[in-house]
Amino acid sequence: MSTDVIARLKQMAADPGRVWLVGGPTYGDLLAQTGRLANALLALGLGKGDRLLLQVEKCEAVLSLYLACLRTGVIFLPVNPGYTVAETAHFLTDAEPALSVTDPDRVAGLRALGARVVDLPALLEQADGQGNAYGDPAHGPDDLAAILYTSGTTGRSKGVMLTRENLASNAEALVSLWRFTSADVLLHALPVFHTHGLFVATNCVLYSGASMIFQRSFQPAAVLEALAQATVMMGVPTFYTRLLADARLTRDATAHVRLFISGSAPLSPATHAEWQARTGHAILERYGMTETNMITSNPYDGARRAGTVGMPLPGVDVRITGPDGQVLPQGEAGSIEVRGPNVFKGYWRLPEKTAEEFRDGWFVTGDMGAIDAQGYLSILGRAKDLVISGGLNVYPAEVEAALDDLPGVAASAVIGVPHPDFGEAVVACLVSAKGALLSEDAIRAALRDRLAAFKLPKRVLILDDLPRNAMGKVQKADLRRIYRTLFASA
């Protein structure tokens, strides 16, 4: 069993000078604040097993409240502050939180839905009147720590139930694998309603006793300035492409950093290569999901191979299976399945759906991939994104890699849309690099020597931008919906 998150917090807080946030509180301050917040939650009638919905703009108090919920056993339920009141209604109905904490301007809207609501400033004020000491109840590794809702691109969002052991085991594995120590300073510019910013970033710092530069949002100028103090940066591919567009990104600007990590969406080999050429650093790409925390990582020592997400974390097993559930030989493409202490407990109040997503104790991720002879996993796309054209399988990631290698292509997304002859047709959606002039005919011609004929896009669409979610992941369901009639008259 791994060391519980709160047990680790208490260990770190025993050192009175250990800094939690650069220029801000120590670990001792953090423990005291979580005690006051835990007492405030107790005074509001919340206890172990109750749900607390949090929907606020990114701020330091989110992390304190997350840890206070862990201390009390209240289940933490963070929600994207970009969601409208109408969208938030689903979480209120499904999770039935005992309390919703939000920004002041959202209170009236949530109350109109029948929620019990307190605004965050009022909760913090109430906590200030409480004592620092809190008598933590006993918790077990299988107790629920949080419910995170999936993005819901294929239907209603599902609540992913994450246990205390899910969080603790993953944190310990990542701290060891990525060589975190108390000397590290993490630059945190990620959202905190998502696994990446909330659990991966925060828990790696906490478990190693490191410090954090906490930025409210990603702003290239602020990030570049902070790199002089940071030793580690975690980001999504969009962070890296936007920094590459800034002339101030140089080897000198990144000299203090020992590790750049990317996740939450695929990092293109072109971005990987350009970053290494500009900075001298090879970005370490890893792979995870809301349901599993982190699954694989490129090595700290050894080749960080562009286009792959590395090897399974210690204690985590990954296999590739065919449609019949049988394990496939090395190198063959199929369904990615995973098992280990990182895998979630199930979907909230959806036992049938949970049962559907597991096979013999293995979680079926819904991603397609292949493992090479060196053990590196490559992600070929979501199973639902697989394009079957003329009866042949086309993996979007393979076509996207070829497109991203072409001069002038800043971003690409490959989808399948209905076609009267082929069943589905491969369609490429591209964004031009600044100053580049792309044409459909030129792109198709450039691909003919790189891809088999059945993989060639039937159409190449040049767009101003690609639809993305808050973590920078391209929303292919939106593209399929927009262009579903592209070949209606073909």
- Across the range 447-457, mean pLDDT stands at 92
Cβ contacts of residue 132 below 8 Å, gap of 6+?
31, 32, 35, 36
The per-residue pLDDT of the chain, averaged, comes to 95
Local structure of 347: helix, strand or coil: strand
Give all strands (DSSP E) within 56-122, no chain letters.
Answer: 75-78, 99-102, 117-119
CA atoms within 13 A on the CB side of 408: 11
pLDDT at position 309 over 90: yes
Fill in the amino acid letter for 301.
Answer: D
CA separation (Å) from 227 to 188, 224, 240, 444, 462? Answer: 11, 5, 13, 40, 35
pLDDT in tens, 245-279: 999 999 999 999 999 999 988 888 889 999 999 99
Tokens of 178: 């990525």
- Give residue 113's Cα distance to chain centre: 29
pLDDT at position 19 over 80: yes
Tokens of 249: 């990104």
Q: Could you identify the residue written with the tokens 């491969």? A: 426
pLDDT band at 392 (very low <50, low <70, confident <90, very high): confident
Give the Cα separation of 123 and 126 in Å (integer). 5
DSSP, res 433: P
* H or E element, residue 426: strand 423-432
pLDDT in tens, 184-233: 999 999 999 999 999 999 999 999 999 999 999 999 999 999 999 999 99
The per-residue pLDDT for 423 is 87
Fill in the amino acid letter for 45.
Answer: G
pLDDT at position 150 over 80: yes
pLDDT at position 153 over 80: no
The per-residue pLDDT for 462 is 96
User: Whose CA is closest to 444, among 460, 430, 455?
Assistant: 460
**Inter-residue contact 416 to 389 (CB < 8 Å):** yes
CA separation (Å) from 374 to 148, 231, 302, 308, 370? Answer: 34, 29, 12, 11, 11
Local structure of 303: helix, strand or coil: coil
The per-residue pLDDT for 151 is 67
Range of weakest confidence among 6-20, 79-93, 106-120: 79-93
pLDDT at position 288 over 50: yes
Q: What percent of the chain has pLDDT over 70?
A: 99
- Dihedral pair phi/psi, residue 286, rounded to 5°: -130, 175
Task: Answer positive or negative: Cα dihedral of 170, 174, 176, 181.
Answer: negative
**Inter-residue contact 367 to 383 (CB < 8 Å):** yes
- Dihedral pair phi/psi, residue 463, rounded to 5°: -115, 160
- Across the range 162-168, mean pLDDT stands at 98
Give the Cα separation of 94 and 102 in Å (integer). 18
pLDDT band at 155 (very low <50, low <70, confident <90, very high): low
User: Whose CA is closest to 159, among 149, 145, 144?
Assistant: 149
pLDDT at position 490 over 80: no
* H or E element, residue 169: helix 164-177
Instruction: Identify the structural domains of the chain with CATH numbers, from first to last.
Output: 5-175 (3.40.50.12780), 218-382 (3.40.50.12780), 386-482 (3.30.300.30)
**Inter-residue contact 65 to 118 (CB < 8 Å):** no
User: Whose CA is closest to 40, among 10, 15, 71?
Assistant: 71
Starting at the edge strand found earlier in the chain, the sheet holding 144-149 runs: 117-119, 99-102, 51-55, 75-78, 144-149, 159-163, 346-347
DSSP, res 21: B
> What's the count of helices (H) and strands (E) in the chain, helices before strands?
16, 24
pLDDT in tens, 42-75: 999 999 999 999 999 999 999 999 999 999 999 9
Tokens of 460: 């190449």
The per-residue pLDDT for 136 is 96
Give the Cα separation of 260 and 362 in Å (integer). 31
- Dihedral pair phi/psi, residue 222, rounded to 5°: -70, -40
**Inter-residue contact 172 to 207 (CB < 8 Å):** yes
Give the Cα separation of 200 and 295 in Å (integer). 12
- Across the range 131-145, mean pLDDT stands at 97
Task: Answer positive or negative: Cα dihedral of 134, 138, 141, 144.
Answer: negative
Tokens of 243: 């920094």
Tokens of 251: 């080897």
Give the Cα separation of 464 and 40 in Å (integer). 48
pLDDT at position 154 over 50: no
pLDDT at position 1 over 90: no
The per-residue pLDDT for 179 is 98
- Across the range 407-412, mean pLDDT stands at 93
Q: Could you identify the residue written with the tokens 């998150």? A: 5
- Dihedral pair phi/psi, residue 19, rounded to 5°: -90, 130
Tokens of 4: 């519980």
pLDDT band at 489 (very low <50, low <70, confident <90, very high): low
Give the Cα separation of 417 and 241 in Å (integer). 28
DSSP, res 19: B
User: Whose CA is closest to 218, among 486, 471, 477, 473?
Assistant: 471
For 6, other C-beta atoms within 10 Å of its C-beta total 22
**Inter-residue contact 168 to 358 (CB < 8 Å):** no
pLDDT in tens, 310-365: 999 999 999 999 999 999 999 999 999 999 999 999 999 999 999 999 999 999 99
